[in-house]
Amino acid sequence: MQTLPTLFVSHGAPTFALDPGLAGANLAALGRRLPRPQAVLVVSPHWMTRQPQATLSLRPETIHDFGGFDPALYTLQYPAEGAHLAARRALELLQAAGLAAAPNVDRGLDHGAWVPLLHLYPQADIPVFQVSLPMWLDADGAYDYGRALAPLADEGVLIVGSGSLTHNLYEFRLGDPRAESYAAEFAHWVRDAVLAGDHSRLRQALAIAPHARRAHPTAEHYLPLLVAAGAAAQAVPASVIEGGIVHGVLSMDSFLFGAEFPARLGADANDALPN
């Protein structure tokens, strides 16, 4: 079976579901070109637990875990099936890595999962499950978490870390467009490390990248990038999925580890990405 690449997506604000912009268009193009997975695994900062859990729901509900937005957002559904067997395999891998991973039969899909999937796989015709993000993970731990899950990519599962390349909610609420320069500088630094295959720099980004503390006052929205990178290990090449900056401070760039994204959009939708 073909080894799938791994993906980090910036899911932005919940309004990304209604306003896809550049990031949504490029995720849609990517979804048309990726080899079709048997299941999608999403690790999101909107499900953090003391110990790892995996969703075993056969029909995971669409969780609207946000408030104060356009009422239209609360009507959206992502009716994908669950991925029971793949979720159990994820639990086996995490347990083999020494983690006390457990099933969760009730939880649905949080907006860190279903919002980007609306654009990546809009037909909701691929089974989806989530693995929680342990609240005690640091950067190296998140990378190792991805490495533990990596065998799934050989078994038809697309591993997706969903977070945000920059995530300062205070400045997001201020809506100050002058803040964009620092977000862009941090995003470009991370982009350079991704394209260079320098995973050591990625793991140190919150300590050494320019404006790191401002871009991420807390780490949880950056850690899914390290999960995706760890799941790919040193797989090359890596590609940037352009997303631009929205609301002045949210970089919407995403990264594909282990395959090249076609530079030109609008090509034959049946063209798959190379290995």
Mean of per-residue pLDDT scores for the chain: 92
63-97 pLDDT per residue, tens: 999 999 999 999 999 999 999 999 999 999 999 99
64/77 Cα distance (integer angstroms): 9
In the chain, % of residues over pLDDT 70: 91
What pLDDT does residue 180 have?
79
Asked if pLDDT for residue 179 goes beyond 80, the answer is no
Tokens 């990038």 locate to 225
245: which strand partners? 251
Asked if pLDDT for residue 235 goes beyond 80, the answer is no
234 pLDDT band (50/70/90 cuts)? confident
Asked if pLDDT for residue 272 goes beyond 80, the answer is no
144-153 pLDDT per residue, tens: 999 999 999 9
Asked if pLDDT for residue 1 goes beyond 80, the answer is no
Q: Report, in this order, helix, strand and coil percent for the chain, each rounded to 5.
A: 40, 15, 45
Residues 194-223, mean pLDDT to the nearest whole number: 96
Window from 14-18, 114-118, 168-172 with minimum mean pLDDT:
168-172
24-45 pLDDT per residue, tens: 999 999 999 999 999 999 999 9
Q: Judging by beta carbons within 10 Å of its beta carbon (0-12, 13-18, 19+), is residue 200 exposed, middle or buried?
A: exposed
Asked if pLDDT for residue 55 goes beyond 50, the answer is yes
192 pLDDT band (50/70/90 cuts)? very high
Asked if pLDDT for residue 177 goes beyond 70, the answer is no
CB-CB contact of 103 with 56 (8 Å):
yes
Q: What does each C-alpha distance from 116 to 14, 16, 95, 147, 161 come to in angstroms?
A: 9, 8, 28, 23, 11
178 pLDDT band (50/70/90 cuts)? low
What pLDDT does residue 273 have?
56
What pLDDT does residue 168 have?
85
